[in-house]
Amino acid sequence: MTLHILAIPFPAQGHMIPFLDLINNLATSHSNLSISITITILTTPHNLPYLTNLLSSHPSSITPVLLPFPSHPSIPPAIENTIHLPHSMRPFILALSRLHQPLLHWFHSHPAPPRLIISDIFCGWTHHLASQLNIKSLVFSPSSAFALSTMYFLWKDMPMRNNVNDENEVVLYHRLPNSPRYPWCQVSPLFRSYVGDDDPDSVLLKDSFLGNIQSWGLVVNTFSELEKPYLDYLRTELGHDRVWAVGPLLPHPDDSSTATKQRGGSSSVSVNDVVSWLDQRQKDKVVYVCFGSQTVLSNDQTVAIASGLEKSGVHFIWCMKGIEDNERDSCLSGLEDRTAGRGLVIKGWAPQVMILRHKAVGAFLTHCGWNSVLESVVGGVSLLAWPMTADQFVNATLLVEELKVAKKVCEGEKTVPDSDELEYQKTGVW
């Protein structure tokens, strides 16, 4: 028997990486099952190159279906075909929902159409597509079970502020374990963008997340030992046991292939050079600094981090993305020279999985994006938490207050940390 799956990712770096890992695992593991699996993965012509490694690894079982990226008034044409999205995901979520009809047409014209859809949490409209086609739909969450629990709570309960001008008004997630609470400014930006049922885009966004909740099953990039209370909550909240923890979705430790080294992007520095640099450092004595693919540091934030690293005297790797060269050079003037021998600045994409698995790395200054969290936890690296937006505040709560594997050093995307405090945290982490 053959099971045909339609896979629908969300085209943002932090979502695509674990989603493609999941699809790779499905294509690899089906040989141990009594059924064969074929997978059709949705992509746009521009994003097709990001599937190269996956398609070449499974030429007989995974094929792409190419559809043009739908236009949306809020998306400039110059960025609508890229996985390096701007800060707000909202217009891309709304735009992708316009693929409902093209996919419906594709399905009806296919000689052996899919019997199951698996899609990213930002593609909740696919539940309605699956219902229309009378097939099952699975939701994949690249976020933590804790963060997903807060999202589901928000869209079901629809809590609103009493004072629309008070960004610090507290939202209480009373049904979740430990009844967490966050100020409005730290609530999901997607939920905060909801302006009422008179706004068609707000209604579509709400329907998308409610569609996720109504889907047949849920797959989460986590593992029970890390988040059992929140996995149990999701099972109770959804009213069924079809909630699977399939994480951490990461390359195998023995996998040294080019695909693993370039997971998420090509390193701007030779992977061998990075490993060679780390091999010369003592165990657990390197601080790794990286804030993900979406975060853009301000000049003041960059200067504060640079000053803290310089004054601390620690060995460090700093992966810098999202800042123009002329701005970066002015902020870091002389840093590389003054920290020669103990600092490595990578300007662009870095082989993060390999860095965090290296024995020399003992701490990670991070924005608490879930991919980075899992990579760090698996690597046994302590975390210095600086949550900035979205689910990062929730992830920081899990790490700092519940699991106690992290220290919070700062919070907020516009906050400028005290360089002396950063110095203390970096030198005191051991």
Which residues participate in catalysis according to the annotation? Answer: 15, 120
Element (H, E) at 219: strand 217-220
CA 424/CA 341 separation, integer angstroms: 21
Contacts of 52 (CB under 8 A, 6+ apart): none
Alpha helices in 134-199 (DSSP H): 145-157, 189-192
Cα 38 to Cα 30, 218, 219: the distances in Å are 9, 20, 19
> 3-state DSSP call for residue 346?
strand
What's the token pair of residue 81?
A: 């075909």
- Closest by CA to 13, choosing from 369, 361, 355, is 369
What does each C-alpha distance from 157 to 213, 235, 262, 320 come to in angstroms? 13, 17, 41, 39
For 64, the 3-state DSSP assignment is strand
74 neighbors 87 (Cβ within 8 angstroms): no
Residue 4: CB partners within 8 Å, gap ≥ 6?
37, 38, 39, 40, 112, 113, 114, 115, 116
Task: Please tell me whether residue 38 adopts helix, strand or coil conformation.
Answer: strand
Contact between residue 202 and residue 194 where contact means Cβ atoms under 8 Å apart? yes
Sequence letter at residue 342:
R
Query: Who contacts 146 (Cβ-Cβ below 8 Å, separation ≥6)?
Result: 176, 227, 230, 394, 395, 397, 398
Tokens of 50: 């990001």
